[in-house]
Structure 1
Protein backbone atom coordinates (compact mmCIF):
# COMPACT_ATOMS: atom_id res chain seq x y z
CA UNK A 1 0.00 0.00 0.00
CA UNK A 2 1.27 3.42 -0.78
CA UNK A 3 0.95 6.94 0.47
CA UNK A 4 -1.47 8.76 -1.83
CA UNK A 5 -0.32 12.31 -1.08
CA UNK A 6 -0.41 14.69 -4.03
CA UNK A 7 2.22 17.06 -2.63
CA UNK A 8 5.92 16.52 -3.33
CA UNK A 9 6.77 15.15 0.10
CA UNK A 10 4.59 13.67 2.81
CA UNK A 11 5.53 13.04 6.42
CA UNK A 12 5.03 9.30 5.89
CA UNK A 13 7.11 9.35 2.70
CA UNK A 14 9.99 11.09 4.41
CA UNK A 15 9.79 8.76 7.39
CA UNK A 16 9.70 5.73 5.10
CA UNK A 17 12.84 6.98 3.37
CA UNK A 18 14.49 7.53 6.73
CA UNK A 19 13.48 4.06 7.97
CA UNK A 20 14.80 2.44 4.82
CA UNK A 21 18.24 3.96 5.41
CA UNK A 22 18.40 3.66 9.20
CA UNK A 23 20.62 1.00 10.69
CA UNK A 24 19.69 0.00 14.22
CA UNK A 25 21.36 -2.71 16.31
CA UNK A 26 19.06 -5.61 17.16
CA UNK A 27 17.97 -5.18 20.77
CA UNK A 28 17.68 -7.99 23.28
CA UNK A 29 14.83 -7.85 25.78
CA UNK A 30 12.41 -10.38 27.17
CA UNK A 31 9.24 -9.42 25.30
CA UNK A 32 8.12 -7.95 21.98
CA UNK A 33 7.35 -4.56 23.42
CA UNK A 34 10.77 -4.38 25.08
CA UNK A 35 12.37 -5.52 21.83
CA UNK A 36 10.70 -2.78 19.89
CA UNK A 37 11.23 -0.18 22.60
CA UNK A 38 14.96 -0.51 21.90
CA UNK A 39 14.48 -0.46 18.14
CA UNK A 40 14.46 3.29 17.72
CA UNK A 41 11.60 5.61 16.99
CA UNK A 42 10.21 3.72 13.99
CA UNK A 43 8.42 0.36 13.69
CA UNK A 44 7.70 -1.23 10.33
CA UNK A 45 5.72 -4.25 9.10
CA UNK A 46 6.04 -5.91 5.70
CA UNK A 47 3.62 -8.56 4.44
CA UNK A 48 2.01 -9.85 1.29
CA UNK A 49 -1.08 -11.97 0.68
CA UNK A 50 -1.12 -14.76 -1.84
CA UNK A 51 -4.91 -14.80 -1.49
CA UNK A 52 -5.51 -11.22 -2.62
CA UNK A 53 -2.25 -10.40 -4.38
CA UNK A 54 -1.84 -7.36 -2.14
CA UNK A 55 1.23 -6.30 -0.22
CA UNK A 56 1.94 -3.84 2.54
CA UNK A 57 5.16 -2.20 3.66
CA UNK A 58 4.37 0.47 6.18
CA UNK A 59 5.74 2.30 9.18
CA UNK A 60 3.06 1.97 11.85
CA UNK A 61 4.84 3.49 14.89
CA UNK A 62 6.73 6.78 15.01
CA UNK A 63 8.28 8.46 18.02
CA UNK A 64 6.30 6.48 20.62
CA UNK A 65 2.92 6.60 18.87
CA UNK A 66 0.99 4.36 16.53
CA UNK A 67 0.22 5.94 13.15
CA UNK A 68 -3.59 5.76 12.73
CA UNK A 69 -3.46 5.78 8.92
CA UNK A 70 -0.97 2.91 8.92
CA UNK A 71 -3.08 0.91 11.38
CA UNK A 72 -6.06 1.45 9.07
CA UNK A 73 -4.03 0.14 6.12
CA UNK A 74 -2.95 -2.91 8.15
CA UNK A 75 -6.53 -3.56 9.24
CA UNK A 76 -7.73 -3.50 5.63
CA UNK A 77 -4.82 -5.67 4.48
CA UNK A 78 -5.49 -8.27 7.21
CA UNK A 79 -9.25 -8.35 6.57
CA UNK A 80 -11.26 -11.55 6.15
CA UNK A 81 -10.71 -11.89 2.41
CA UNK A 82 -13.58 -14.34 2.07
CA UNK A 83 -16.18 -11.78 3.19
CA UNK A 84 -14.15 -8.58 2.70
CA UNK A 85 -14.99 -7.57 6.29
CA UNK A 86 -12.57 -5.78 8.60
CA UNK A 87 -12.05 -5.40 12.32
CA UNK A 88 -9.38 -3.14 13.83
CA UNK A 89 -6.23 -5.24 14.20
CA UNK A 90 -4.83 -5.16 17.73
CA UNK A 91 -1.55 -3.20 17.53
CA UNK A 92 0.02 -5.60 20.05
CA UNK A 93 -0.28 -8.38 17.45
CA UNK A 94 1.53 -6.21 14.91
CA UNK A 95 4.24 -5.51 17.50
CA UNK A 96 4.79 -9.24 18.07
CA UNK A 97 5.02 -9.96 14.33
CA UNK A 98 7.38 -7.00 13.78
CA UNK A 99 9.61 -7.98 16.73
CA UNK A 100 9.77 -11.59 15.52
CA UNK A 101 10.62 -10.43 12.01
CA UNK A 102 13.39 -8.24 13.41
CA UNK A 103 14.85 -11.15 15.41
CA UNK A 104 14.92 -13.27 12.25
CA UNK A 105 17.07 -10.62 10.54
CA UNK A 106 15.33 -11.03 7.21
CA UNK A 107 14.23 -8.51 4.60
CA UNK A 108 11.64 -10.81 3.03
CA UNK A 109 8.06 -9.81 3.90
CA UNK A 110 5.80 -12.20 5.75
CA UNK A 111 3.25 -14.10 3.72
CA UNK A 112 -0.09 -13.59 5.50
CA UNK A 113 -2.21 -16.74 5.41
CA UNK A 114 -4.89 -15.58 7.84
CA UNK A 115 -5.49 -12.42 9.83
CA UNK A 116 -8.94 -11.32 10.97
CA UNK A 117 -11.70 -13.91 10.51
CA UNK A 118 -15.43 -13.42 10.85
CA UNK A 119 -17.29 -15.90 13.05
CA UNK A 120 -18.76 -17.41 9.87
CA UNK A 121 -15.34 -17.94 8.29
CA UNK A 122 -13.97 -19.40 11.51
CA UNK A 123 -16.94 -21.81 11.76
CA UNK A 124 -16.44 -22.90 8.15
CA UNK A 125 -12.71 -23.52 8.73
CA UNK A 126 -13.48 -25.32 12.00
CA UNK A 127 -15.88 -27.65 10.19
CA UNK A 128 -12.97 -28.67 7.93
CA UNK A 129 -10.22 -28.94 10.57
CA UNK A 130 -10.18 -29.80 14.26
CA UNK A 131 -7.09 -27.58 14.62
CA UNK A 132 -9.18 -24.38 14.28
CA UNK A 133 -10.13 -23.03 17.71
CA UNK A 134 -13.80 -22.36 18.38
CA UNK A 135 -12.98 -19.07 20.11
CA UNK A 136 -10.04 -18.20 17.89
CA UNK A 137 -8.28 -14.90 18.52
CA UNK A 138 -8.46 -14.39 14.75
CA UNK A 139 -12.12 -13.41 15.35
CA UNK A 140 -10.95 -10.65 17.72
CA UNK A 141 -8.33 -9.42 15.19
CA UNK A 142 -5.61 -10.45 17.63
CA UNK A 143 -3.90 -13.21 15.61
CA UNK A 144 -2.11 -13.91 12.36
CA UNK A 145 -0.88 -17.03 10.58
CA UNK A 146 2.41 -16.20 8.87
CA UNK A 147 5.04 -17.84 6.65
CA UNK A 148 8.50 -16.95 5.35
CA UNK A 149 10.20 -18.70 2.43
CA UNK A 150 13.68 -17.98 3.76
CA UNK A 151 13.13 -19.22 7.33
CA UNK A 152 11.87 -22.51 8.66
CA UNK A 153 8.76 -22.87 10.78
CA UNK A 154 11.04 -23.79 13.69
CA UNK A 155 13.09 -20.60 13.28
CA UNK A 156 9.95 -18.45 13.13
CA UNK A 157 8.48 -20.28 16.12
CA UNK A 158 11.63 -19.70 18.20
CA UNK A 159 11.74 -16.00 17.28
CA UNK A 160 8.08 -15.44 18.14
CA UNK A 161 8.42 -17.45 21.38
CA UNK A 162 11.46 -15.38 22.38
CA UNK A 163 9.24 -12.30 22.43
CA UNK A 164 7.29 -13.79 25.37
CA UNK A 165 4.35 -11.59 24.47
CA UNK A 166 1.49 -13.86 23.34
CA UNK A 167 0.54 -17.20 21.90
CA UNK A 168 2.75 -18.96 19.37
CA UNK A 169 1.66 -22.06 17.47
CA UNK A 170 3.93 -24.14 15.24
CA UNK A 171 2.24 -25.83 12.27
CA UNK A 172 5.11 -27.64 10.57
CA UNK A 173 2.98 -29.75 8.20
CA UNK A 174 1.15 -26.67 6.96
CA UNK A 175 4.34 -24.56 6.98
CA UNK A 176 3.21 -21.58 9.06
CA UNK A 177 3.43 -20.04 12.51
CA UNK A 178 0.45 -18.63 14.40
CA UNK A 179 1.16 -15.48 16.45
CA UNK A 180 -1.33 -13.76 18.72
CA UNK A 181 -1.43 -11.20 21.52
CA UNK A 182 -3.41 -13.38 23.91
CA UNK A 183 -1.96 -15.06 27.01
CA UNK A 184 1.62 -16.32 26.72
CA UNK A 185 1.55 -19.96 25.60
CA UNK A 186 3.05 -22.21 22.94
CA UNK A 187 1.90 -25.32 21.08
CA UNK A 188 2.51 -27.38 17.99
CA UNK A 189 4.86 -29.77 16.33
Structure 2
Protein backbone atom coordinates (compact mmCIF):
# COMPACT_ATOMS: atom_id res chain seq x y z
CA UNK A 1 0.00 0.00 0.00
CA UNK A 2 1.41 3.40 -0.97
CA UNK A 3 2.09 5.78 1.87
CA UNK A 4 2.90 8.97 0.01
CA UNK A 5 3.11 11.96 2.33
CA UNK A 6 1.33 14.93 0.75
CA UNK A 7 1.73 18.15 2.74
CA UNK A 8 -1.04 20.71 3.00
CA UNK A 9 1.62 23.45 2.85
CA UNK A 10 5.38 23.55 2.58
CA UNK A 11 8.09 26.13 3.04
CA UNK A 12 11.36 26.63 1.26
CA UNK A 13 14.74 27.77 2.47
CA UNK A 14 13.90 31.35 1.50
CA UNK A 15 10.38 32.78 1.21
CA UNK A 16 7.57 30.34 2.03
CA UNK A 17 6.72 28.05 -0.88
CA UNK A 18 3.26 26.60 -1.38
CA UNK A 19 3.02 22.97 -2.42
CA UNK A 20 1.97 24.15 -5.90
CA UNK A 21 5.24 26.04 -6.17
CA UNK A 22 7.19 22.94 -5.18
CA UNK A 23 5.37 20.97 -7.87
CA UNK A 24 6.41 23.54 -10.45
CA UNK A 25 10.00 23.17 -9.28
CA UNK A 26 9.73 19.40 -9.59
CA UNK A 27 8.31 19.65 -13.11
CA UNK A 28 11.29 21.77 -14.08
CA UNK A 29 13.83 19.38 -12.61
CA UNK A 30 14.38 17.46 -15.87
CA UNK A 31 16.11 14.13 -16.34
CA UNK A 32 19.21 13.76 -14.19
CA UNK A 33 19.14 17.39 -13.09
CA UNK A 34 20.90 18.52 -9.93
CA UNK A 35 19.00 21.24 -8.11
CA UNK A 36 20.91 24.36 -7.14
CA UNK A 37 20.24 25.34 -3.53
CA UNK A 38 22.02 28.15 -1.77
CA UNK A 39 24.91 26.94 0.35
CA UNK A 40 28.62 26.30 0.32
CA UNK A 41 28.87 25.50 -3.38
CA UNK A 42 30.87 22.30 -2.80
CA UNK A 43 31.51 20.44 -6.03
CA UNK A 44 29.14 17.58 -6.70
CA UNK A 45 30.40 14.14 -7.56
CA UNK A 46 29.30 12.81 -10.99
CA UNK A 47 26.31 10.51 -10.74
CA UNK A 48 25.52 7.79 -13.30
CA UNK A 49 22.35 8.11 -15.39
CA UNK A 50 19.34 7.05 -13.32
CA UNK A 51 17.26 3.93 -13.94
CA UNK A 52 13.92 4.18 -15.71
CA UNK A 53 12.04 3.59 -12.45
CA UNK A 54 13.13 4.32 -8.90
CA UNK A 55 11.36 3.66 -5.62
CA UNK A 56 12.01 4.87 -2.08
CA UNK A 57 10.74 3.75 1.30
CA UNK A 58 11.46 6.42 3.93
CA UNK A 59 10.47 6.94 7.55
CA UNK A 60 11.16 10.21 9.34
CA UNK A 61 11.90 9.11 12.90
CA UNK A 62 11.22 12.58 14.31
CA UNK A 63 7.83 13.29 12.75
CA UNK A 64 6.70 9.70 12.11
CA UNK A 65 5.90 10.51 8.46
CA UNK A 66 6.47 7.90 5.76
CA UNK A 67 6.95 7.74 2.02
CA UNK A 68 6.65 4.48 0.06
CA UNK A 69 6.27 5.01 -3.67
CA UNK A 70 7.90 5.68 -7.04
CA UNK A 71 9.59 9.07 -7.26
CA UNK A 72 11.09 8.45 -10.71
CA UNK A 73 9.11 6.84 -13.52
CA UNK A 74 9.73 6.48 -17.25
CA UNK A 75 13.10 8.18 -16.82
CA UNK A 76 11.44 11.30 -15.38
CA UNK A 77 10.74 12.67 -11.88
CA UNK A 78 7.28 12.21 -10.38
CA UNK A 79 6.49 15.80 -9.28
CA UNK A 80 4.08 15.15 -6.40
CA UNK A 81 6.35 12.39 -5.07
CA UNK A 82 9.33 14.76 -5.03
CA UNK A 83 7.22 17.36 -3.19
CA UNK A 84 6.27 14.73 -0.62
CA UNK A 85 9.91 13.70 -0.11
CA UNK A 86 10.96 17.34 0.25
CA UNK A 87 8.39 17.78 3.00
CA UNK A 88 9.32 14.55 4.77
CA UNK A 89 13.01 15.60 4.74
CA UNK A 90 12.26 19.16 5.91
CA UNK A 91 13.91 20.98 8.80
CA UNK A 92 11.32 19.99 11.40
CA UNK A 93 12.55 22.67 13.80
CA UNK A 94 10.89 25.33 11.64
CA UNK A 95 8.89 23.31 9.07
CA UNK A 96 10.90 24.62 6.14
CA UNK A 97 11.97 22.49 3.21
CA UNK A 98 14.02 22.83 0.05
CA UNK A 99 14.21 20.93 -3.21
CA UNK A 100 16.26 17.87 -2.29
CA UNK A 101 19.07 16.97 -4.68
CA UNK A 102 17.61 14.30 -6.97
CA UNK A 103 21.02 12.62 -7.18
CA UNK A 104 20.89 12.19 -3.39
CA UNK A 105 17.55 10.42 -3.79
CA UNK A 106 19.11 8.18 -6.44
CA UNK A 107 21.91 7.29 -4.00
CA UNK A 108 19.34 6.45 -1.34
CA UNK A 109 17.44 4.29 -3.83
CA UNK A 110 20.62 2.45 -4.83
CA UNK A 111 21.55 2.00 -1.18
CA UNK A 112 18.11 0.65 -0.30
CA UNK A 113 18.42 -1.96 -3.04
CA UNK A 114 21.70 -3.17 -1.52
CA UNK A 115 20.40 -3.66 2.02
CA UNK A 116 19.60 -7.14 3.36
CA UNK A 117 16.48 -5.86 5.16
CA UNK A 118 13.44 -4.59 3.29
CA UNK A 119 12.13 -2.03 5.76
CA UNK A 120 12.15 1.71 5.14
CA UNK A 121 15.28 3.80 5.53
CA UNK A 122 14.97 5.80 8.74
CA UNK A 123 15.85 9.46 8.29
CA UNK A 124 17.29 11.27 11.31
CA UNK A 125 18.15 14.51 9.53
CA UNK A 126 17.61 15.84 6.01
CA UNK A 127 17.50 19.48 4.98
CA UNK A 128 18.61 22.04 7.58
CA UNK A 129 18.27 25.79 7.55
CA UNK A 130 21.40 27.79 8.30
CA UNK A 131 19.91 28.79 11.65
CA UNK A 132 19.31 25.19 12.70
CA UNK A 133 22.79 24.21 11.56
CA UNK A 134 24.34 27.03 13.60
CA UNK A 135 22.53 25.78 16.69
CA UNK A 136 23.80 22.24 16.10
CA UNK A 137 27.37 23.47 15.63
CA UNK A 138 27.12 25.48 18.86
CA UNK A 139 25.80 22.43 20.72
CA UNK A 140 29.08 20.61 20.09
CA UNK A 141 27.58 17.45 18.56
CA UNK A 142 29.96 17.59 15.59
CA UNK A 143 27.87 19.32 12.90
CA UNK A 144 29.91 21.07 10.22
CA UNK A 145 29.55 24.85 9.75
CA UNK A 146 29.58 24.16 6.00
CA UNK A 147 27.22 21.19 6.15
CA UNK A 148 25.71 19.96 2.89
CA UNK A 149 22.46 19.50 4.83
CA UNK A 150 21.98 23.25 4.26
CA UNK A 151 22.10 22.65 0.50
CA UNK A 152 19.58 19.78 0.65
CA UNK A 153 22.36 17.45 -0.47
CA UNK A 154 22.80 15.29 2.67
CA UNK A 155 20.89 12.92 4.94
CA UNK A 156 21.66 11.07 8.17
CA UNK A 157 20.06 7.63 8.13
CA UNK A 158 19.56 4.27 9.83
CA UNK A 159 18.09 1.01 8.53
CA UNK A 160 16.05 -1.16 10.93
CA UNK A 161 17.60 -4.58 11.33
CA UNK A 162 20.84 -3.52 9.64
CA UNK A 163 23.95 -2.91 11.80
CA UNK A 164 25.50 0.53 11.30
CA UNK A 165 28.72 -1.02 10.00
CA UNK A 166 26.79 -2.98 7.36
CA UNK A 167 24.87 0.15 6.37
CA UNK A 168 28.14 2.09 6.10
CA UNK A 169 29.68 -0.54 3.82
CA UNK A 170 26.57 -0.60 1.64
CA UNK A 171 26.65 3.20 1.44
CA UNK A 172 30.26 3.10 0.24
CA UNK A 173 29.07 1.12 -2.79
CA UNK A 174 26.01 3.28 -3.49
CA UNK A 175 27.79 5.79 -5.72
CA UNK A 176 30.16 8.75 -5.57
CA UNK A 177 29.90 11.42 -2.89
CA UNK A 178 30.44 11.60 0.86
CA UNK A 179 29.84 8.74 3.30
CA UNK A 180 30.39 9.07 7.03
CA UNK A 181 29.91 6.24 9.51
CA UNK A 182 28.96 7.11 13.09
CA UNK A 183 28.95 3.56 14.35
CA UNK A 184 28.60 4.21 18.08
CA UNK A 185 25.59 6.43 17.41
CA UNK A 186 24.33 3.88 14.88
CA UNK A 187 23.80 6.12 11.86
CA UNK A 188 25.36 6.91 8.50
CA UNK A 189 25.75 10.27 6.76
CA UNK A 190 25.26 10.31 2.98
CA UNK A 191 25.77 13.28 0.63
CA UNK A 192 26.44 14.28 -2.98
CA UNK A 193 29.47 16.43 -2.30
CA UNK A 194 33.07 15.57 -3.21
CA UNK A 195 33.98 11.91 -2.81
CA UNK A 196 35.28 11.25 0.70
CA UNK A 197 34.96 8.64 3.44
CA UNK A 198 35.23 8.92 7.21
CA UNK A 199 34.35 7.32 10.51
CA UNK A 200 33.12 9.68 13.23
CA UNK A 201 32.32 9.41 16.89
Give the TM-score, by structure 2 length: 0.74
2:199 is aligned with 1:149:
no
Equivalences, count = 159
More helix per residue: 1
Q: How does 1:58-77 map to 2 (within 5 A)?
A: 58-77=69-88
Tell me how far 1:174 sits from its aligned partner: 1.1
What runs of 5+ residues in structure 1 fail to find an aligned partner?
5-30
Does the 8 A contact of 1:170 with 1:178 survive in 2?
yes
Query: In terms of Rg, which structure is larger?
Result: 1
Tell me how far 1:3 sits from its aligned partner: 8.1
Give the TM-score, by structure 1 length: 0.78
Q: How does 1:31-46 map to 2 (within 5 A)?
A: 33=48, 37=51, 41-46=52-57
Greater relative contact order (Cα < 8 A, sep 6+): 2
Q: Following the alignment from structure 1 to structure 2, what is the Cα–Cα distance between the partners of residues 89 and 131?
A: 23
Aligned Cα root-mean-square deviation (Å):
1.9
Indicate the SS of the match to 1:69: helix
What runs of 5+ residues in structure 2 fail to find an aligned partner?
7-45
1:79 to 86, 90, 112: 90
Tell me how far 1:144 sits from its aligned partner: 0.3
Does the 8 A contact of 1:75 with 1:86 survive in 2?
yes
Residue 2 of structure 1 aligns with which residue?
Answer: 4
Tell me how far 1:107 sits from its aligned partner: 1.2
